[in-house]
Amino acid sequence: MKLLVRLSALSLICATAALTSSCITLRGRTPARGAGCQLRSSDSTLMAGAPLYRECAVDTHAANLTRGQGPMARPAGALHDGCYSAELQFVVDTTGVPEQRTARVLQTNDQSYADAVIATLPTWRYKPALIGSTPVRQIVTEREATAIKVGQMTDPPPSPSC
């Protein structure tokens, strides 16, 4: 009987130690980190010799501070009414500035619109991503869209309905 009590107590101590250890390991970290959060081979062109992280690998994500401000991107030679959209991926540096040279188009319905959005990147500002209290470079994905009515220029332009 005493042996059974000792084994039960030992099991309880081991289980508590394992749970405490795993909680300490996860403190301040998102459990999503792991194999799915590793940089991909396609990210190697973004490295530029400095550490780089995906959104799932940082404690605080880079946050766009200038959404809806600054110059609006317009596709070159828009000849018809329409909704233009572009999904871009780029790196935000440790000061919150997008690295324009890292920008790539993931998806768009008009390349000239995507090019116009990329041209506005130097005016965008972010609160930098953090690991702990240290600012780090982070890969960011943003989707921009605008609705254009040919022949009608309004100030401010209408909000996209796309």
Q: What is the pLDDT of residues 109-130, one digit of tens each?
A: 989 889 999 999 999 999 999 9
Question: Do 48 and 127 fall within a single domain?
Answer: yes
95 in any annotated domain: yes
Q: Is the whole-model pTM more than 0.85?
A: no
**Number of C-beta neighbours around residue 102 at 10 A:** 22
What pLDDT digit, counting tens, does each position of 2-18 carry? Answer: 444 444 444 444 444 44
156 in any annotated domain: no
Question: Do 20 and 82 fall within a single domain?
Answer: no
Q: How many Å apart are CA 127 and CA 78, to the nearest integer?
A: 33
The C-alpha angle with vertex 44 and arms to 37 and 75, in degrees rounded to 5, equals 95
Identify the band that residue 26 occupies on the pLDDT scale cut at 50, 70 and 90. very low
Domain range for 4: 1-31
Closest CA to 144 of 158, 162, 126: 162
Question: Do 43 and 15 fall within a single domain?
Answer: no
Question: Do 18 and 38 fall within a single domain?
Answer: no
Amino acid at 65: L
Q: Which of 3-12, 38-47, 56-65, 88-97 has the lowest mean pLDDT?
A: 3-12
Question: Do 47 and 9 fall within a single domain?
Answer: no
Question: Do 59 and 101 fall within a single domain?
Answer: yes
DSSP run (H or E) holding 148: strand 138-148
Question: Do 25 and 38 fall within a single domain?
Answer: no
Question: Do 75 and 19 fall within a single domain?
Answer: no
Closest CA to 84 of 64, 65, 111: 111
